[in-house]
Amino acid sequence: MLIGIIGAGLAGLTAGHKLVKAGHDVIVFEKSRGFGGRLATRYAGENHEIKFDHGIPHLSADRPLFRGFIQELEEKGIVEYWTDSFNYWDGQMIHTKHPNIIGKKYYKATDGMNQVGRYLSRWLEVRTNEKVIGFTYLGNKRRNKKPWMLNFEDSSTVEVDAVIVATPAVQAYGLIENAQDETVVRNVIRRIDTISYENAYSVMLTYNKAETPEWNGITCKDEPIRWIGNENKKRDNGEKLTLVLHSESNYAVKNINTPHEDVIQELAGSLRKIVGDWAGRFDEAQAHYWRYVQPRTFFEESFVITGPEDAPLMLTGDYLGGKGTESAYESGYKLAEKLIENRK
C-alpha cells in the first residue's frame, strides 16, 4: 500500500515515520524547501554557526505519549532538559518565575529544533518543493491505476493508494475543496472550515558585543511581544548574543503587510522597555511571519478517516485531539497506529 502524505510538519512526519517502520510504502510531499513546520531553525553567520529556533522555542509534555517521545529524543541527544520555569514580564517588571506555570519540564534542542524533523524523516522519502494543489479520487473509473491521484502545481501527478492530509486546517480545507470527487470529502470540509489560527512574527536579533543575560526566556503580558528567547542558553553561538522574539497574534495580523524592517524596529523598541536600552543596539536582524502558530479551536477526535476502506482519505494535524505541538504528534502517531492495526 502506497500512502501519500501531504505536509512534512510534525504530524505528517510522525505518521510517516511510524508507518515506514511498520513496513508501509510512504512518500511525503512538502511545498517548502525544508520540512518540520514550526520545528524550525534559521542559520546566520559566515559559516552558519549561529542557530535561531524561530518557530517552536522548546518542548514540554502534559500527556504520556508525547512525554515518551521527548524521552526518545533525549536518549538520542536531540533535546535535553532546560528549565522548569521562565521569567515573566507583567507589564511593569520582570519576575523570576511565571506565577501560573509551576513544575513543568521544558526541553531545548541541543543543535537546533529542526533536528527533530530530521530525526523523524529518517527512512522516509520526503520530496520538498513539491506543492500538491488537489487530489482526484478515481474510484471505479480506474484501470490498473491506484485509487487516488495527487495533482501538483507544475501539472504533474502521482498515484497513491491512500492520502493523508497533514497540513494546517486552513490549507487542508483548500486541498479538499479542490478534490475532483467531493462525495468522498463532503462530510469533512464543513467542519474544517471552522478552524482558525493564531499568527505571529518572529524576530531574530544578533549582538556582536553584549553579555549573555542570565534568563533563559521571558513570557510577556500586555506587549506586542509574547516571548523572548535567549538562544545562547541553548547552545554555543560563539561570541555573539542571539535572541528570538515572538509577537502576539493580534500584532501580527495587524502588521501582516508591514515591511519587516519596521516590524523589527517596533518589536525591538518593546524589547528595550522590558530588558533595557542595550537591547536596541543589535547588529543584525531577521524577521519571519508565521501564519499558522496554533489553532484557536480543535476537533475532539485525534484524526479523521473517511472514504472507502481500501482507499481512505485521512486528516492529521495540530487541530485534532487538542491544539498545538503535543496534539500534532499524538494525531500523527495515533493515525498511523490505526492504519497499522487495520492492515493486520
Task: Report pLDDT for 188.
Answer: 76
Both 29 and 133 in a single domain? yes
Task: Report pLDDT for 236.
Answer: 87
Both 179 and 235 in a single domain? no
Tell me the average pLDDT of the chain: 93
Distance CA(299)–CA(318), nearest Å, equals 10
Domain boundary at 295, 312, 329, which? 295
The more confidently predicted of residues 108 and 187 is 108
When pLDDT is cut at 50, 70 and 90, the band that residue 180 belongs to is low
Q: Which domain holds residue 213?
A: 58-110+197-295
Task: Report pLDDT for 307.
Answer: 81
Q: Is the pLDDT of residue 34 over 90?
A: no
Q: Is the pLDDT of residue 183 over 90?
A: no
Domain count, the chain: 2
- Domain annotation covers residue 50: no
The mean pLDDT of 254-263, rounded to a whole number, is 98
Nearest partner of 248 among 198, 292, 298, judged by Cα:
198
How far is CA 1 from each of CA 78, 289, 312, 320, rounded to the nearest angstrom? 32, 37, 11, 25
CATH of the domain at 183: 3.50.50.60
The mean pLDDT of 258-282, rounded to a whole number, is 97
- Where do we find the cell 535567549? 230
In a 10 Å sphere around its CB, with 0-12 CB exposed, 13-18 middle and 19+ buried, how is residue 239 labelled?
A: exposed
Both 303 and 272 in a single domain? no
Nearest partner of 16 among 155, 113, 122, 98, judged by Cα:
122
Task: Report pLDDT for 46.
Answer: 78
Q: Residue 5 in contact with residue 27, Cβ under 8 Å?
A: yes
Both 31 and 137 in a single domain? yes
Percentage, residues of the chain above pLDDT 70: 96
Q: Residue 35 in contact with residue 84, Cβ under 8 Å?
A: no
Q: Is the pLDDT of residue 181 over 70?
A: no
Conformational region of residue 260, where left means phi above 0, alpha means psi within -120 to 50, and beta covers everything else? alpha
Nearest partner of 288 among 198, 202, 206, judged by Cα:
202
Nearest partner of 213 among 104, 323, 94, judged by Cα:
94
- Domain annotation covers residue 202: yes
Q: Over the stretch 9-26, which tens digit does the pLDDT of each residue have?
A: 999 999 999 999 999 999
Q: Over the stretch 50-81, which tens digit does the pLDDT of each residue have?
A: 999 999 999 999 999 999 999 999 999 999 99
When pLDDT is cut at 50, 70 and 90, the band that residue 205 belongs to is very high
Both 256 and 123 in a single domain? no
Task: Report pLDDT for 110.
Answer: 94
- Domain annotation covers residue 320: yes
Task: Report pLDDT for 308.
Answer: 84
Q: Is the pLDDT of residue 209 over 90?
A: no
Task: Report pLDDT for 98.
Answer: 83
Largest CA distance in the chain: 69
Both 78 and 139 in a single domain? no
